[in-house]
Amino acid sequence: MRRLLALVLLMQALNGGLANAAAKKLVLVVADPFLEMHSGPGRGFPVVYVIGRDELVTVLYSRTDWFKVRAATGNEGWVRRADLARTLLETGEPAPIPPYPEFASHRWELGAGYGVYNRENLVTTYVDFGLTTSLDVELAVQQAFGTLDNRYVASIGVRHTFIPEWKWFSPTAGIGTAYQYVQDKVPPAPLQKSNEMAYVSLGARGFITRRFLWRVDWRHYVVFNNLNVYEDLEEWKFGLAVFF
């Protein structure tokens, strides 16, 4: 039954793909004296064809900063974003080449990094969604590797960016809740294998280039357990992220 369901879903996906393949492509007019087409999407690839002024060019798809285009003659090649942005629509308006997402007001962020959690090595991945330019929701999944145990931590919280328009360095602070699962490596087994936690965080973020940014974060966790004393944990991490 499950296989059948998978097959149907696959067929649906393929069907959708085929239907989309027939969609219209963007046609642009070259406004510069010429437009250079490279053999590949990168500066290491040679120019293989040149399209003259007032000639039409069809945009097929993009990869990073390069656009695969087709000339009226049928020749295909890759054009730089900056070059293609200087072409025009057939109506004479500027070409609708999407600019980079604005760093200060980006919505989505996807990142990973290294950290130290409870004096253990930590691998962290996170997704971040901006509710406003200064307030976002962060969802993180982390794995810590210790000598006595391994810990898996999932957390959700809100974070405030104090001055989002500061591009290179902007301080942040946040609060949230987390869940920890402890997998013991050597006996004795921990008294509690899983805990709920709450945290406060302080950090900073900064723009690197294009769609890249860095983040550092310090977190203080309070671990809720059945014992009479609360356990406190500390975490440091550094991450790289892509924003959309």
Partner 1 sequence: MEIRLSCILLAAVVLSGCSWFHRGHKAPPEIVAEQPQGEPSIIEPQVTRRVVKTPHIKAKDFELGAYYGALSIQDFGTNPLYGVRAAYHVSEDIFLEGFLARSKAGTTSLEDVFPDITVLSDSGRRFTYYDLDVGYNVLPGEIFLGRGRAFNSALYVTVGMGDVKFADKDQFALNFGVGERLLITDWLAVHVDVRDHIFETSLTGRTKNVDNIEATLGLTVFF
Of 59-67, 174-182, 194-202, 228-236, the segment contacting partner 1 by CB under 8 A is 59-67
Residue 166 or 214 having the CB closest to partner 1: 214
Contact indicator for 37, 48 with CB cutoff of 8 Å:
yes
Contact letters for partner 1, residues 4-43 (x by CB under 8 A): xx--x--xx--xx-xx--xxxxx------------xxxxx
Token pair for 138: 């962060």
Q: Does 188 bind partner 1 (CB under 8 A)?
A: no
Q: Does 89 bind partner 1 (CB under 8 A)?
A: yes
For partner 1, the binding residue among 49, 212, 218, 238 (CB under 8 A) is 212
Rg (CA), the chain: 25
Token pair for 210: 């294009």
Q: Which of residues 151-180 bind partner 1 (CB under 8 A)?
A: none
CB of 121 to partner 1, least distance (A): 4
Amino acid letter for position 41: P
For partner 1, the binding residue among 47, 52, 72, 96 (CB under 8 A) is 96
Q: Phi and psi of 12, rounded to 5°?
A: -60, -45
Distance between alpha carbon 169 and the CA centroid of its chain, in Å?
A: 19
For tokens 């990142």, what's the residue?
A: 111
Q: Does 193 bind partner 1 (CB under 8 A)?
A: no
Q: How far is CA 70 from CA 51, 53, 88, 107, in A?
A: 10, 15, 15, 33
- Kind of pairing, strands 231-243 and 170-184? unpaired
Residues that bind partner 1 (CB under 8 A): 1, 4-5, 8, 11-12, 15-16, 18-19, 22-26, 39-46, 59, 61-68, 89, 91, 96-98, 112, 114, 121, 123, 125, 143, 145, 150, 183, 185, 209-212, 240, 242
